Structure 1
Amino acid sequence: MSGEKKPPIWKSFGYAFEGIFTCIRKERNMKIHCVMTLLVILAGFIFHISATEWCICLTLFGLVMALELVNTAVEAVVDLVTSECRPLAKIAKDTAAGAVLIAAIMAAIAGLIIFLPKGIALFLG
């Protein structure tokens, strides 16, 4: 263990928020996740979803965005280590992106399960 002193907790939070905002500014997919999050929140208020449905939505927002942050970190580290097209670098980048894709697809399916019946009821209602 190194003798480095850890930064105060407020600085650690500052670094974390800096990472989040950097990802939002620089990554197209994170911008898409943010827009979708806002649309789902709006739909949640319009359709008066239950507390359980809100918890599901919030958990899925967090999961997808957290994985996007990890994916961005993996891509940055791989790019830092090599600029060549190397098989292991490709595996690292592709599997990290795949994790985000799986979470986003599952979130979209859960969203359809929550919102589609409410939309149909409103349309037919």
Structure 2
Amino acid sequence: MSEFNETTGLTRLFRAFGYSLQGFRACYQYEAAFRQEVLVALFVVPLGFWLGEGGVEKALLVGSWLIVMIVELLNSAVEATVDRFGPEHHKLSGRAKDIGSAAVFLSISFAVMVWALILLPRYL
């Protein structure tokens, strides 16, 4: 790539932001799990800000669900990459998809644990 084609500064930031929006749109359009997690976020994020006592609790409650969405984005990227190479089954492709799914499961488990550890002692 020549030095004249490289972008720096604000131009690079604006383009990167545009690519990020394209990624959000694509994941929302093609991934049902991500759509479901966005719907949960519409409820959980405001609730986390409301129920959290202090900045740390708010960050943990809200952030734990944002981690779920981040992991889902990464899992969807892995799945799209695997699918790009063809629909035929290969054990490594299946393993990659299973590992991505396990990561999503662990992130959801983490979010549930954070919410439980913060809120259950307060309300029991």
TM-score range, shorter chain: 0.7 to 0.9
TM-score by structure 2 length? Answer: 0.81
Within the candidate set 2, 13, 19, 1:15 is matched to: 19
Structure 2 alignment gaps of length 5 or more: none
Deviations along 1:76-118, whole A, 9 cap, x unmatched?
1111112101101001111011111111111111111222334
Structure 1 alignment gaps of length 5 or more: none
For residue 84 of structure 1, what is the aligned residue in structure 2? 88
Q: 1:51 to 1:93 in 2, by over 3 A?
A: same
For residue 110 of structure 1, what is the aligned residue in structure 2? 114
What is the correspondence of 1:38-77 to structure 2 with a 5 Å cutoff?
Answer: 38-47=42-51, 49-77=53-81
CA root-mean-square deviation: 2.1
Separation in structure 2 between the aligned mates of residue 103 and residue 30 of structure 1, nearest angstrom: 13
Separation in structure 2 between the aligned mates of residue 48 and residue 57 of structure 1, nearest angstrom: 7
Separation in structure 2 between the aligned mates of residue 6 and residue 58 of structure 1, nearest angstrom: 37
Q: 1:48 to 1:9 in 2, by over 3 A?
A: closer
After TM superposition, give the deviation of residue 48 of structure 1 in Å.
5.0
- Percent identity, aligned pairs only, is 29
Q: 1:31 to 1:115 in 2, by over 3 A?
A: farther
